[in-house]
Each structure stands twice: as C-alpha cells, then as structure tokens.
Amino acid sequence: MNIEERLTDIELAITEQQRMLDDLSEVIIFQGKQIDAIKKENALLKNLIERETVKPLSEETPPPHY
C-alpha cells in the first residue's frame, strides 16, 4: 500500500467519523429538547399536585354510575 492509498483511507475514515459526530450531535440536540419538554411537564404536574387539583385515588369522588 503506497502513501497515496494510505492518505485516501485516512481521509475516508475522517469523513466517516465526521458524519457520525454530526449524527450524534443531532441526537443530542433532539434529546435535549425532549428533556426540556419533560422538565416543563414535570413542573406543571408537580404544581398541580401541590395545588391539590390532582388527588390520590382514595380521595377522588367516584363517578355517578358507581
């Protein structure tokens, strides 16, 4: 294998690694957005519980058909 073939192989490997890094960055950005949404939803649910709008099942009034 001559030096030119070796350089070509190295360039191909670097290109593939760059593609993988770009893909992983996209995944991280997407997951960050999901985490932010989950945090907001969690804060809302926590707030509802603290305001007692969500009661334990034992304290809920059964529906009229019971």
Indicate left, alpha or beta for 52 from its phi (over 0: left) and psi (-120 to 50: alpha).
Answer: left
Whole-model pTM: value is 0.62
42: left (phi over 0), alpha (psi -120 to 50) or beta: alpha
Whole-angstrom distance, CA of residue 10 vs CA of residue 29: 28
Q: pLDDT 10s per residue in the chain (66 long)?
A: 899 999 999 999 999 999 999 999 999 999 999 999 999 999 998 888 888 766 677 777 777 876
Distance separating alpha carbons of residues 9 and 15, to the nearest angstrom: 10
